[in-house]
Chain A
Amino acid sequence: MITVDGVTKTYGGFLAVDDVSFTCRPGQVTGFLGPNGAGKSTTMRIMVGLTPATSGRVTIGGHRYADLPNPGRHVGVLLDASAQHAGRTGREVLTIGARTMGLPQGRVDEMLELVSLSRSESKRRVKNYSLGMRQRLGIAHALLGDPGILVLDEPANGLDPAGIHWMRGLLRQYAARGGTVLLSSHLLHEVERIADELILIGRGRIVAQGTKDELLASSGAYVKAVEAEALRDALARGGVQVTPSGDGFRSDAETVDIGRIAAEHRITLVELRPADGSGLEELFLQLTADTQRDTEPAPSGTRATEGAPA
């Protein structure tokens, strides 16, 4: 159980984290979602005491992180897979962690096996690791102390599709055994498959949070017509506002209302269905667009893969 209570962090005049509160519960995977620079990593560093919060507090099962005796036995942390000594071997990285936590050397071998780093790979220096191998090593390090809570910052970064699939299974099982998982990502489709709870953060503020089912619940409609212009005009006259989305339109109105208006105006619909991903995806894209430097619209291809089938 992680409780984040009114955490704020300012750097000079810049508000990096703005009154953020949420809880992560045992048995659940909580996805912490937001564009790069939204304040995810800062919030996670505050959780484990690496960054002092300007105000607010975080407790781990009722304790301050710094008050946990041997915290690695309670909270597994992966904040940055690249934050490892390039000159140490993967095995040595784990050995240092195991020695600090007071674990037997056998635990290192178990973890290497769990994350599928072979014996020869484990003897190579970390500087020769791919980002995916560093992530695996980082996940192994987080799991070393057999903790009940996991805090993982962008753990899927650099993993190939098979690796992401593997990690998803690993974390699902971990949560199913009663573990608490908080993982961050800047990609909606990466967390929506695995998370039970979602927290959306943008510019340091939480903009949405709730169970995945709540947040992904359909509302509104997606419609596509042969006569796109005519449809938009007809809907506008009927008091239905739409926004262009791909080749069609997205609207807050119900499908039945849109269908009726289209029928009245003898417009040929090629698609009419409840919108996917409700407002979550829109909200996320908007967040991302707001904070992105380049204003190029997201390619429609990625959206199609992100939306859950209606």
Chain B
Amino acid sequence: MSSSTLETPTLDVSGTPGIPMSRLVRVEMRKLVDTRASRWLLIAIVAITVLIVGIFFLNADRSERTFGNFMGTTATPQGFLLPVLGILLVTSEWGQRTALVTFTLMPVRGRVLAAKVVAALLAGVAAIVLAMAIAALGALVGGADRPWAHIGLDDIGKFGLLQVSGVLQGLAFGLLFLSSAAAIVTYFVLPTAFTIVANLWNALHDAAPWVDLGTAQQPLFGGTHMSGDQWLHLASATAIWVLLPFVVGLVRVLRAEVK
């Protein structure tokens, strides 16, 4: 090809700046809100967070209306919905086949995926900040004697860790299955089924804190100091349920033929 290379007009690309990461992140954040489905998911996250704090407020005794308790009530609904946000951010590109366009405009697929991770994490952090704001409001008007008791920065950190790991797990399952239905069903069913099996099957029961994410995450809710062993359990179970599917899914997407 050397002879024809000479006559090949070379396209001068030196004047074209590349696409900065910040722009990709902004585009991915836009995709979180620009369809009816994605917008309703965000509205649902906000509405359910407000609702659950409200319900707790009305049903709890004055003394129970603490910031820590309000935060605790938001953990479950947000823990359910934030991973779905992560799943959909990945799988909608495949289900709707927009990956064809996305990866044509940014052929370095890893950068698109990195932008999706950042966008999903920012949405997760926003949800946590919202939860804290509403919990703080509840604590302020709740009338408990010591509304800010039993909660420190480390507890908020643990809360954040829990939700961030959920968002990442959602992204990981999305990457692994590339199908909304399969990813959502597997995300909700598999870890729960595994927890049940782990509790019933003696051989697995001892290993459960190491391999079962639900068991390993239990101490994060406790509001007590976590031991080194408990952190190791958490790291191990997170590696199995978040890191492993993420890496396998990442390799799959980087190599996949996009049709």
Contact = CB atoms under 8 A, between A and B. Distances in A.
B8 interface: yes
Contacts of B104: 48-50, 71-72, 77, 79
Given A45-B259, A70-B18, A61 B10 contact: yes
Contacts, number: 119
Interface stretch (B19-27, B133-141, B151-159, B244-252): B19-27
Nearest to B36: A87
A5 B1 contact: yes
Interface magnitude class on chain B: 35 or more
B11 A83 contact: no
Nearest to A84: B98
Contact of B16 (A49, A73, A77, A80): A73
A219 interface: no
A50 B106 CA distance: 11
A249 to B, nearest CB: 42
B23 A88 contact: no
Interface in A1-41: 1, 3, 5, 26
B13 A68 contact: yes
B35 interface: yes
Given A51-B258, A63-B11, A74 B35 contact: no
Contacts of A60: 11
Nearest to A151: B104
B97 interface: yes
Interface string B221-236: 0000000000000000
Interface string A96-131: 110111100000000000000000000000000000
B34 A69 contact: no
Nearest to A76: B104
Contacts of B10: 61-63
A51 B26 CA distance: 27
Interface residues of A, number: 44
Contacts of A207: none
A71 B100 contact: no
A74 B11 CA distance: 9
Interface of B: 1, 4-5, 8-11, 13, 16-19, 23-24, 26-27, 30-31, 34-37, 92, 96-98, 100-108, 255, 257-259
Interface of A: 1, 3, 5, 26, 45, 48-52, 59-63, 65-66, 68-74, 77, 79-80, 82-88, 92, 95-97, 99-102, 141, 148
25 contacts: A1-B9, A1-B11, A5-B1, A45-B257, A49-B104, A50-B103, A50-B258, A52-B257, A60-B11, A61-B8, A69-B17, A70-B18, A70-B19, A72-B104, A73-B16, A74-B11, A82-B97, A83-B97, A85-B96, A87-B35, A99-B27, A100-B102, A100-B106, A102-B17, A102-B19
